[in-house]
């Protein structure tokens, strides 16, 4: 009995998409924590970015290299594929560096990442339409698409402006020291 490949794509793409949502969702918080943990207000963001690069090397160079070798992949690498992949890596790294610079300019992870994750889908949708115009031209785009763009932008703004603030640190009671404590001798004088 022969089984044929399923015609439906399945849900693996959704699982991988949700993996990315989770990973990128905590990325900014982890990056900010790493920057602060460097304990260097001037160069901490650059030190954190250095370790992001090391992590990319481990994850994006060694892991695929091992997979390609294990699968016996052919090593023909077309120039166009290499150039576009390099460009993708560069803009991804520029984006990560922009996040660190935003943190260094006093942006908080909740605000910075809300702007990034609300704005990126808008840029993606618009660039995709410009790079691959719809079959019927711009006029064939349904109004719901534009409403979605507006809602994504509005959502980013609302999350940015109305995010819950962390609890403020409780003021500790002033500690009495020998110089501020009333002296028992001063009342007897």
Each domain of the chain, given as residue ranges in start order, spans: 14-73+86-107, 108-164
pLDDT of residue 53: 92
Q: Which of 57-61, 88-92, 114-118, 167-171 has the lowest mean pLDDT?
A: 167-171
Number of helical H runs and strand E runs in the chain: 6, 0
Q: Round the average pLDDT of the chain to a whole number and report it.
A: 83
pLDDT of residue 119: 87
Task: Check whether 62 has a pLDDT greater than 90.
Answer: yes
Of residues 188 and 136, the one with the higher pLDDT is 136
pTM given for the model:
0.70
Of residues 115 and 66, the one with the higher pLDDT is 66
φ and ψ of 136, to 5 deg: -90, 10
Task: Check whether 178 has a pLDDT greater than 80.
Answer: no
How does pLDDT run across 101-158, given as a tens digit for each residue? 898 888 888 888 888 888 888 898 889 889 889 888 888 899 999 898 899 888 888 8
pLDDT bin (cut points 50, 70, 90) of residue 34 is very high
């Amino acid at each position: 009995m022969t089984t044929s490949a399923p015609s439906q794509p399945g849900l693996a793409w959704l699982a991988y998409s949700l993996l990315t949502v989770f990973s990128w969702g905590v990325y900014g918080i982890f990056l900010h924590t790493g920057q602060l943990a460097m304990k260097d207000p001037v160069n901490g963001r650059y030190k954190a970015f250095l370790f992001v690069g090391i992590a990319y090397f481990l994850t994006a160079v060694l892991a695929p290299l091992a997979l390609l070798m294990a699968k016996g992949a052919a090593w023909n690498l077309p120039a166009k594929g290499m150039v576009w992949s390099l460009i993708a890596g560069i803009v991804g790294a520029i984006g990560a560096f922009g996040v660190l610079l935003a943190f260094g300019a006093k942006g908080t992870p909740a605000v910075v990442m809300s702007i990034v994750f609300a704005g990126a889908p808008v840029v993606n949708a618009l660039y995709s339409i410009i790079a691959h115009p719809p079959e019927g031209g711009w006029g064939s785009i349904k109004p719901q698409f534009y409403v979605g763009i507006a809602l994504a932008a509005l959502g980013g703004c609302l999350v940015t402006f109305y995010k819950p603030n962390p609890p403020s640190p409780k003021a500790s009671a002033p500690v009495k020291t020998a110089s501020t404590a009333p002296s028992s001798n001063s009342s007897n004088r």
